[in-house]
Structure 1
């Protein structure tokens, strides 16, 4: 299982990528995306940035099983949820990759939920956060 150094680096790179994605969506893709796609892109960026910040916080705490699970879930959620939405916005209807991307989105959302539950259990288990 990846350690805190990996998740620290993942969170920082994901945060930077989230800022880039936000700027790219607001400027370079402004004329290409429909209003629905623009809203979806903003949602993906928002969730990526929020969970990158949460993951960075977790990566800098004393390790526990619950925090490791939470870190894995947040990294998985960022990849599946935000990544699949970006992909759906950038591909055309009928593209074969969409048959994978569409179902990946809710799995990413479930990973986010599981990450927050694991984080709650970490606190319950006596791990000091902060």
Structure 2
């Protein structure tokens, strides 16, 4: 496979920019509406999104293999399910109508992130 996979580069760039926007939004606009626990949950989503944005950029510049391809896709799915479900849970609870269906989605996203890291580990074994 060894060609450049632009998907992790593009996703990492978008996730990184959105993490900064969401972090600023949480720190400034949401701070006055949220209790400390909700704000910390929101910040957890932002942190994990940024960590994985950076990881996706790194995966994008690695030699591409089937394992790095699957790692990137698992991490992209994981960020969407993990971080964005946290945002949805926190925002919906803050503004009156908690979307409970998002609760079980967060750990699925976390498992997808873990699977992505494991797939990345497997790709390093092949070097």
Query: Do these two structures clear the TM 0.5 threshold for a shared fold by scoring above it?
Result: yes
Alpha-carbon RMSD: 1.6
Bigger proportion of residues as helix: 2
Runs of 4+ in 1 over 4 A off after TM superposition: none
1:113 is matched with 114
**Secondary structure of residue in 2 paired with 1:115:** helix
Question: CA offset at residue 99 of structure 1?
Answer: 3.0
2:41 is matched with 40
Question: CA offset at residue 100 of structure 1?
Answer: 2.3
1:62 is matched with 63
Question: CA offset at residue 108 of structure 1?
Answer: 0.6
Q: Distance in 2 between matches of 1:4 and 1:22?
A: 28
Structure 1 gap ranges (5+): none
Q: Distance in 2 between matches of 1:33 and 1:6?
A: 35
For residues 70-113 of structure 1, give each alpha carbon's deviation from its aligned partner in whole angstroms, at most 9, with x where no partner exists. 101110111000000000011038847x2321111000100110
Structure 2 gap ranges (5+): none
**Secondary structure of residue in 2 paired with 1:90:** helix
Question: CA offset at residue 45 of structure 1?
Answer: 0.5
1:102 is matched with 103
